Amino acid sequence: MKVLVTGAAGFIGSHLMERLLARGDDAVGLDWYGDNYPPSIKRQNAAAFADRVVEGDILNVALLDDLFAKHDFEAVVHLAALPGVRPSIAEPGRYQAVNVEGTAQIVDAMHRAGVKRLVFASSSSVYGRNEERPYRETDRVDQPASPYASSKRAGELLLTTLHPIFQIGVTSLRYFTVYGPRQRPEMAIHKFVKAVEEGTPIPMFGNGETSRDYTYVDDIIDGTVAALDRCDERFRIYNLGDNRPVTLRELIDKVGEAVGKEPIIEELEEQAGDVQHTLACIDQAAADLGYAPKVPIEEGLRRFVDWYRAQEA
């Protein structure tokens, strides 16, 4: 398949590019190598397929038109975004611009070029302050807890609106806390492993009872590729999670086991924008996409630690 992957040099995007290229797809990436974390890390992520990544901003309409004119894309996987809950509180306007206007520009450029299939990276954060778990795709999602979460929900709403007007089939994937090799350096597991390796304290926000549905990146890529292959004229939403909640305290213990050292914990106040718990119901993705996450957290953490040590060596 001839496919455009936006955000190709990022954590998830680089894994997706590798998977698509390995199975023989004609995948082209787009990434601006922005500095929300060190661009050198993104260049490293994309090192194996750098010649297939176009460097540019999804807000650059002329660049998008040029890219779509040069390639006869059958589908787009739109991962490019500013991620992260906490930084979005400091820059709500920038998050809206990149994540909402950026999504509008991508879908508009697809429309002009006649590209009919879109897979969109949404997030578990759209469930916000919802209390009933596991979260289901049919739940109301009108109380996001951070500007990042609002921007992802706004992206979904915009695509709901444009899908029948532009007749573009859309599959929105709500990813639940993704981890694994190349995880962004500011994300919890990456920070925790680094802290335990270096013998510095792990910042634990709250009492450790919050929980997350951590999903290994290979499982996320399985689900994303299955969604891409099955994307048709409909508008659909799927949770991609692991369906096994892990409390923050348990996560810290498991990181300690994976590293082989006792973690030092620094207890801090809960952070604004953080939600208490996440947990995905994955029945819909299982039924329609054959999605079945395989990597338990202990194994995923071991793989992350191996990767982390190889980077540091």
Residues with Cβ < 8 Å from 293, sequence gap 6 or more?
Answer: 215, 216, 219, 222, 241, 242, 243, 282
Count of residues engaged in binding ligand NAD, rule: CB under 6 A: 28
Residue 177 interacting with ligand NAD (CB under 6 A): yes
- Residue 15: name the closest of 263, 249, 184, 208 by CA: 184
135, two tokens: 């979260």
Residue 241 interacting with ligand NAD (CB under 6 A): no
Quick note: the x/- pattern for ligand NAD over 274-313, rule CB under 6 A, is: ----------------------------------------
Percentages of the chain per state (helix, strand, coil), in multiples of 5: 45, 20, 35
Give the integer Cα–Cα distance in Å for 8 and 67.
Answer: 15
Q: By C-beta, is 153 or 184 nearer to ligand NAD?
A: 184
Question: From residue 259, how far is each of 62, 152, 216 by CA, in Å?
Answer: 47, 34, 17
Quick note: the x/- pattern for ligand NAD over 87-126, rule CB under 6 A, is: -----------x---x------------------x-x---
Q: Is 148 a catalytic residue?
A: yes
Within residues 58-77, the interface with ligand NAD by CB under 6 A covers 58-59
Question: From residue 60, how far is each of 19, 32, 78, 109, 281 by CA, in Å?
Answer: 27, 10, 15, 10, 37
The nearest distance, CB 199 to ligand NAD, in angstroms, is: 26
170, two tokens: 């859309």
Residue 253 interacting with ligand NAD (CB under 6 A): no
Q: Give, rounded to a whole angstrom, the gap between the first and last alpha carbons of the chain.
A: 37
Residue 188 interacting with ligand NAD (CB under 6 A): no
The nearest distance, CB 136 to ligand NAD, in angstroms, is: 17
Q: By C-beta, is 201 or 277 nearer to ligand NAD?
A: 277
Select which of 37, 95, 127, 148 is catalytic: 148
3-state secondary structure of 279: coil
Give the type of residue at 100. V
Among 175, 216, 291, 304, binds ligand NAD (CB under 6 A): 175
Among 3, 4, 5, 11, binds ligand NAD (CB under 6 A): 11
Task: Write out the residues near ligand NAD by the rule CB under 6 A.
Answer: 7, 9-13, 30-34, 42, 57-59, 79-83, 98, 102, 121, 123, 175, 177-178, 184
Catalytic residues: 148
